[in-house]
Every structure is written in C-alpha cells, then in structure tokens.
Amino acid sequence: MSRLPCVACINDLSGYGRCSLTTALPVLSVLGVQACPVPTAVLSKHTGLAGYAFTDLTDFLPAYLQSWHDLQFDMIYSGFLGAEGQMNTVRDFFITQKKQNPHCTVLLDTVMGDNGKLYDTYTPALCRAMRTLVSYADIITPNVTEACLLTDTPYHGETLHTTEAVTLAEQLAALGSKAVVITGIVREDIICNMTYIGGEYTFDAVHRTKCLFSGTGDLFASVLCAALARGCALPDAVNTAGKFLSAVTQYTKQQGAPAEEGLRFEPLLRTLEDYL
Ligand code: PXL
C-alpha cells in the first residue's frame, strides 16, 4: 500500500489572521501531503493584532509528542514556539524521529520577528533557545531580521549585499543546520531568497510588491515544506515557494486587503500545484 508523505507541523494555532497552522495545514493538504499539527500555543488572533488572547501549551507538549512515539514522519516542520520551555521537548522529538527514520528532514522556520522587531511573545531567552535548536535542523528559513538575531549581527534593514548575505549564511550554517534559506532579501524591485548548502549559494529572485502582509514567512515555509515532502530538491522548492508567494502577494495587494489580515491565499490555493 502506498502512503502519502507525512509531516508533523509544530506551530501555533491562531484563530484569525492567516498565519502558522491555519496556513500550513491547507497548503500541505492541497499538495497531497498529510499534515499532522502539533499546537505550541493557541491564540485568538496573531500577535500583530491588538487584544489577542493567548494560551501557551508548553505543559501539554511532552504528552502530546510522547503519544506519537510509534509514528514516523517524513518531515518535521517547526515554526512559532510558545515559550522557551518548549525547546527541549521539540529538540527531543527531532532526535527521536531521526533515530527512527534517518531520512526524516527537519525544516526549522526560525520564527522570531520581522522588519527588525521581535514578535510580541518572543523574549531574548526564547531567541537563544531557537539558536540551539538550529543545530538539530536540516534546513532553516530565517528572514533577514531572524538571520541577524541568530548571528548577533546588527540589523540595518531588509537589503543585504551579496557578501553580507553570504557571511550571514556561513554564520548560520556554522550553528549546525545543513542548509540555510535566507528569505525576503530586498533588492530595489526584486525580492531574493538565498539558498546556501555546503558552501554553495544561489539567489532566487521574484517580483517585489513592497507590501508586507502578516504570515508571509509562514506561507513561504509551508509551500517549501510541501514541495520538499513531495520530493523536490531544495533550490526547486525555494523557486516554487518564491513564485507562489509573489503571485499571492500581488493578488492580495490588488484586492486592497489590510496587511495585518494576512495574505489572501485561499483563491489561489488550487493553482499551487502548477508552481511545482
Ligand atoms: O507569522 C509569524 C507568526 C506566527 N504566529 C503568531 C504570530 C506571528 C507573527 O506575528 O503572531 C502567533
């Protein structure tokens, strides 16, 4: 009996605002990948929207993942973490899954902030813990803000020259991840996503809309994850994610949607397979 690729998705559940699990689950499903959610926190809406209610699920996480000890995943996709105390539980899950299945790929989206600022619930201790988690990952997908935070590099905007991007990628790889994808590097009229593996780098350029919608990184990482789970090579998966994000961002801008409501990916979801 053939089986579908199966991914454990460690992320928060935000009721409103199109980010984290509400983005990951439909994207993986539409590409025929089984998505198994591991909620790290429940929020009524994402932290960029005023007055959100938040429950951290740190205490529930060990029992949740322990109950999966007999399951094997092709990939683990980890995103927003609710608190510093979750790091060891998540790390142990990476380790036990890799022991059971050496081919299990860990995609760590190092969600911490954007535009030079930390997200509301992220503390310096949580950022330090994220840095430790990087050493257990196969692929990390920091944006420019997160790449700077992880490497203690002063942040001076989303524009990076090639030499700066390569230096950041080298420093990130030195933290222990096999591959690094730095997302959202700004270059006048284009946005570049840089893939760095084994000392080699490629830049993948897409159209820049100059609008920053909430959950953009989550949509990018979710498409990347689904493409990888279906067997795409990393540079191809980055290309697919970049092209789809560009189309969705242009569509959302045309619709005049408020940035904090997130990307209107729903009407384009059924076209996602065409970008592979
Ligand atoms: O898009 C990243 C993200 C994920 N989860 C929550 C967030 C954010 C960004 O604001 O608030 C809860």
**Does the beta carbon of 111 lie inside 6 Å of ligand 1?**
yes
**Does the beta carbon of 219 lie inside 6 Å of ligand 1?**
no
Atom 6 of ligand 1, nearest CA residue: 46
**Does the beta carbon of 192 lie inside 6 Å of ligand 1?**
no
Model confidence over 89-126: pLDDT tens digits? Answer: 999 999 999 999 999 999 999 999 999 999 999 999 99
Average pLDDT, rounded, for the chain: 97
**Does the beta carbon of 20 lie inside 6 Å of ligand 1?**
yes
Q: Report the pLDDT value the prediction gives residue 58, as an integer from 0 to 100.
A: 98
Tokens of 181: 């994808």
pTM strictly above 0.95: yes
Atom 2 of ligand 1, nearest CA residue: 215
Q: Which atom of ligand 1 is closest in space to residue 119's alpha carbon?
A: 10
Which of 273, 132, 115 shows the shortest CA–CA distance to 183?
Answer: 115
Phi/psi at 243 (5° precision): -65, -40
- Residue in the block written with tokens 């005023």: 50
What's the 109 CA to ligand 1 centre distance in angstroms? 12
Q: How confident is the model at residue 269 (pLDDT cuts 50, 70, 90)?
A: very high
Phi/psi at 63 (5° precision): -65, -40
Alpha-carbon distance of 8 to 162, in angstroms, equals 34
pLDDT over threshold 80, residue 5: yes
**Does the beta carbon of 82 lie inside 6 Å of ligand 1?**
no
Q: Report the pLDDT value the prediction gives residue 138, as an integer from 0 to 100.
A: 98
pLDDT over threshold 80, residue 1: no
Model confidence over 176-227: pLDDT tens digits? Answer: 999 999 999 999 889 999 999 999 999 999 999 988 999 999 999 999 999 9
Count H helices, E strands: the chain? Answer: 8, 11
Residue 189's alpha-carbon distances to 155, 168, 257, in angstroms, are: 21, 22, 21
What's the 79 CA to ligand 1 centre distance in angstroms? 9
Alpha-carbon distance of 146 to 209, in angstroms, equals 21
**Does the beta carbon of 134 lie inside 6 Å of ligand 1?**
no
